[in-house]
Amino acid sequence: MKGFAMLKIGETGWIEKEKPTAGEYDAVVKPLAVSPCTSDIHTVFEGGVGERHNMMLGHEAVGEVVEVGDKVKDFKAGDRVVVPAITPDWNTREIQNGRHQHSGGMLAGWKFSNIKDGVFAEFFHVNNADMNLAHLPEDIPLEAAVMITDMMTTGFHGTEMADVQFGDTVAVIGIGPVGLMAVASANLRGAGRIIAVGSRPVCIDVAQKYGATDIVSYKNGDTVEQIMELTNGNGVDATIIAGGSVEIASSAVKITAPNGTIANINYFGSGDNVPIPRAEWGCGMAHKTITGGLCPGGRVRMEKLVELIKYNRLDPALMATHVFKGLDKVEEALMLMKDKPRDLIKPVVLVN
């Protein structure tokens, strides 16, 4: 089979590999729709997770099951499925501590395009199919469904970690697709004011549709000053970081009020340290919680996110600004994610 791979840091290309086979609890899936992620860019062009050779890229896919192992109970060849970006081993010690993303070691629940071949291929392997796949209802369009796998679960995790409450003032720094899902989930959780930070007009438009009440462009002046002015010097209850480089953490601490939470869902692809400003952290005593996490994966999470689309709570397909046809377009789609033209939110490749 062929697939689009990271050949080494800084280099991509099409390669041939053996078609994977399913272990007794596993499945082999052929993609129906895939989407490149900014994380693929950090991985291949910034070496975010270190060197990798000839590893298929991609971790966002919905597909059709083509083969299952003997012990798989709930899925069979022909089923349409949502495949989460995070596919942990569900029989490890870490699971009992409630940290499935780190089952088997830090970030080890993230397997596709990190520790095994990803989904930008004619076929891909899914471990522990009964726990990692979710059925995809026929009436959910593929452009919406593919957003569940990573964008929705990640953006939603930002507001979960920030523990957004009814009436809270929330800042979302970065409104690419990940930040837009943080905006949408803050809205679903009942935030009062949602301040969205970004500059691409297409993202601003969708942010407003998803519930942003205020827009701040970091290109129109200092983000911290603008948000402190908007909030009469009080700062916000919760900040979700979904864009920018490591320095953005410093701005996030500055704009978050004492007792507030800063939740990072950004992938800091380069830099050795993440700065925390001493004074605005109350000399270490401001009760500002700083957290950050890899998105949740697994079957139940995907099933719940499917419900939100099925019952019209959210339409993530608004983010699919560039839709391609044919697996061979994955290269073009990935390069869009690298270059980030002003009219882009998220490219989707429909495989058939």
Q: How far is the CB of 276 from ligand NDP (least distance, A)?
A: 17
**Contacting residue, 248, 318, 330, 334, with ligand NDP by CB under 6 A:** 248
Interacting partner of 193 out of ligand NDP, Zn ion, none (Cβ under 5 to 8 A depending on kind): none
User: Of 52 and 254, which has the nearer Cβ to Zn ion?
Assistant: 52
User: Of 63 and 198, which has the nearer Cβ to ligand NDP?
Assistant: 198
Residues 191-230 that bind ligand NDP (CB under 6 A): 197-200, 203, 218, 223
**Contacting residue, 28, 175, 227, 348, with ligand NDP by CB under 6 A:** 175
Q: Determine the interface stretch with ligand NDP among 11-19, 65-73, 240-248, 328-336 (rule: CB under 6 A).
A: 240-248
Q: Does 182 bind ligand NDP (CB under 6 A)?
A: no
User: Of 22 and 154, which has the nearer Cβ to ligand NDP?
Assistant: 154
Give the Cα separation of 31 and 126 in Å (integer): 12
Give the Cα separation of 132 and 126 in Å (integer): 7
**Which tokens sit at 281?**
């952290």
Give the Cα separation of 150 and 59 in Å (integer): 8
Name residue 275's amino acid: P
Q: How far is the CB of 2 from ligand NDP (least distance, A)?
A: 25
Q: Does 176 bind ligand NDP (CB under 6 A)?
A: yes
Q: Does 39 bind Zn ion (CB under 5 A)?
A: yes
Q: Determine the interface stretch with Zn ion among 31-39, 125-133, 182-190, 300-308 (rule: CB under 5 A).
A: 31-39
The 3-class secondary structure across the chain, one letter per residue, is: CEEEEEEECCEEEEEECCCCCCCCCCEEEEEEEECCCHHHHHHHHCCCCCCCCCEECCCCEEEEEEEECCCCCCCCCCCEEEECCCCCCCCCHHHHCCCHHHCCCCCCCCCECCCECCCCECCEEECCHHHHCEECCCCCCHHHHHHHHHHHHHHHHHHHHCCCCCCCEEEEECCCHHHHHHHHHHHHCCCCEEEEECCCHHHHHHHHHCCCCEEECHHHCCHHHHHHHHCCCCCEEEEEECCCCCCHHHHHHHHEEEEEEEEECCCCCCCCCCCCCCHHHHHHCCCCEEEECCCCCCHHHHHHHHHHHHCCCCCHHHHEEEEEECHHHHHHHHHHHHHCCCCCCEEEEECC
Q: Does 295 bind ligand NDP (CB under 6 A)?
A: yes
User: Of 82 and 255, which has the nearer Cβ to Zn ion?
Assistant: 82
Q: How far is the CB of 119 from Zn ion (least distance, A)?
A: 11
Give the Cα separation of 162 and 237 in Å (integer): 9
Name residue 343's amino acid: D
User: Of 66 and 107, which has the nearer Cβ to ligand NDP?
Assistant: 107
Interacting partner of 203 out of ligand NDP, Zn ion, none (Cβ under 5 to 8 A depending on kind): ligand NDP
Residues 118-177 that bind Zn ion (CB under 5 A): 150
Q: Does 114 bind ligand NDP (CB under 6 A)?
A: no
Q: How far is the CB of 172 from Zn ion (least distance, A)?
A: 17
Q: Does 223 bind Zn ion (CB under 5 A)?
A: no
Q: Does 87 bind ligand NDP (CB under 6 A)?
A: no
Q: Does 99 bind ligand NDP (CB under 6 A)?
A: no
The size of the interface with ligand NDP (CB under 6 A), counted in residues, is 30
Give the Cα separation of 155 and 276 in Å (integer): 23
User: Of 175 and 306, which has the nearer Cβ to ligand NDP?
Assistant: 175
Give the Cα separation of 72 and 22 in Å (integer): 10
Interacting partner of 19 out of ligand NDP, Zn ion, none (Cβ under 5 to 8 A depending on kind): none
Contacting residues toward Zn ion, per CB under 5 A: 37, 39, 150
Contacting residues toward ligand NDP, per CB under 6 A: 37-39, 42, 150, 154, 173-179, 197-200, 203, 218, 223, 242-244, 248, 265-267, 294-295, 340
